[in-house]
Amino acid sequence: MKCIPFVRIFAGCVFGFVLAGSSLATPPPVAAPSETTGTNDTESTGFLSGIRRSSYLLGDLWGARPLLSKYGMSLTILETSEVLGNVSGGANQGFDYDGLTQAVLQLDTQRAFHLYGGTFNISALQIHGDDLSARNLLTLQTASGIEADRATRLWELWYQQKFLEEDRLDVKVGEQSLDQEFMVSQNALLFVNTMFGWPMLPSADLPGGGPAYPLAAPGLRVRVRPINSLTFMAGVFNGSPVVNNSGDPQQQNPSGTSFPLNGGTLAIAEMQYSFPALGSMVYSGNSPTLAGTYKLGFWYDTENFADQEYDNNGLSLANPASTGIAATHRGDYAIYAVMDQMIWRDPTDEDGDRAVSFFTRVMGSPEEDRNLVDFSLNAGLTFHEPIYHRDDDTCGIGIGFAKVGNHATGLDADTGFYSGSSYPVRSSETFVEATYQYQLTPWCQIQPDFQYVFNPGGGIPNPNFPGQRVKNEAVIGLRMNILF
């Protein structure tokens, strides 16, 4: 049939879109140091002498940190390096190295200018290595939160100002990455897989994957805490992190300095409830409360979104008579909920740090015609100090689930119909991950990791074996975090 080459070309385009839309994530978090952190536990050389007890590999950075501190500034550099490989399944088997260097410079206006409550932040990324998910796995939910195109780029550039008594209001303006504040489960950040950071649904559906690592977008975020247990956050950002939504979004803005303002609007709001509330007291004879945080939020983006099945004439995109131009829809939205709940605390642990916590995050959108993924879920358990006296170790087991939207699966069925041959119809993808984060020194963590992926890509065809799906994958790896 003459239509077969066209169908194969179109199927290849869909396959490429799946990969391009699932590459954004959240890297290991970097906390800016306080004025004295890491500056008073080493000699001025900051290296070799006192290296075992310093918070940083390079100590005071040969005097640079104390000098910056005099002017109200702090510098943090974190290198994350890992080797990951699939020993079964996938399009190919093998191992890849990838790495990320994060540098964060912050200025405290109180210490610098005697202006209370202001923080100026600038951060940069140096991304190196290869992308196992794109090369071997072909998954929706990519294996590592640091996988991205090789680049040296600006990440965030913002100013934050606190207001009111007890800092109950703060405003942040500038280039921001939403995965640093919105939709976050603190317990989920232990894991290596991408989707325990920035979720699958916005990664697949928002233009450019949304303003999340390694991209950001200009905008305004407001946070208010009317009572100690309740916090509201809301933000308005450019509808896309790049000026041009065609092609690889990271290549559209390779340096991170385009600051797009030409798109639609991405509005997001989140309510957070925590207990015990900030400042709560634990009285003598009472057991400490099992802490929990609950979040409910939504986002809405006014950009144009391509239909996943039909063209601008109402024909299936797999139909040989199709124009090949997808129908467009104005706007897209989703609702989400996040829970972090401690479920057990060791009563014999005097510090109260030895504990097990449960987390879950769900997100869904009814707009199936324009969304590749219309529902995603993450859940898991983390165990802090699983071995007695290993105070800084944490282990965990987690799961991720992504459901392919009905219009996307409909396109697969159409492709099989018009080609006259068997063509896999995508449905959903599930993975499980088990990991252990071992604190080797105050500045170094080692983290062995295991992941198993069921129905990779939702059940996409294997490019090396036409007519067959990509087989289930076992992924093993080792990550190392070094704080310089």
Q: What is the pLDDT of residues 44-80, one digit of tens each?
A: 444 455 556 678 999 999 999 999 999 999 999 999 9
Q: What is the pLDDT of residues 90-138, one digit of tens each?
A: 999 999 999 999 999 999 999 999 999 999 999 999 999 999 999 999 9
Radius of gyration of the chain (CA): 23
Q: Which of 245, 238, 243, 242 is nearest to 264 (CA)?
A: 238
- Does residue 209 contact residue 148 with C-beta atoms inside 8 Å? no
Three-class DSSP category at 207: helix
- Does residue 240 contact residue 217 with C-beta atoms inside 8 Å? yes
Dihedral sign from CA coordinates of 102, 37, 356, 344: negative
**Separation between Cα atoms, residue 41 and residue 30, nearest integer Å:** 20
Phi, psi (5° rounding) for residue 399? -135, 145
Q: Which of 37, 127, 226, 139 is nearest to 459 (CA)?
A: 139
DSSP letter, residue 432: E
Q: Which of 440, 439, 444 is nearest to 57 (CA)?
A: 444
Residues 367-383 have a mean pLDDT of 97
Please tell me the predicted confidence (pLDDT) of residue 277. Answer: 73
DSSP letter, residue 135: I
The neighbouring-strand residues paired with 224 are 169, 232
Structure tokens at 339: 């829970």
- Does residue 383 contact residue 394 with C-beta atoms inside 8 Å? yes
Q: What is the pLDDT of residues 173-222, one digit of tens each?
A: 999 999 999 999 999 999 999 999 999 999 999 999 999 999 999 999 99
Q: What is the pLDDT of residues 387-414, one digit of tens each?
A: 999 999 999 999 999 999 999 999 999 9
- 396-415: b or e for each residue (b if 16 or more CB lie within 10 Å)? bebbbbbbbbebbbbbbebb
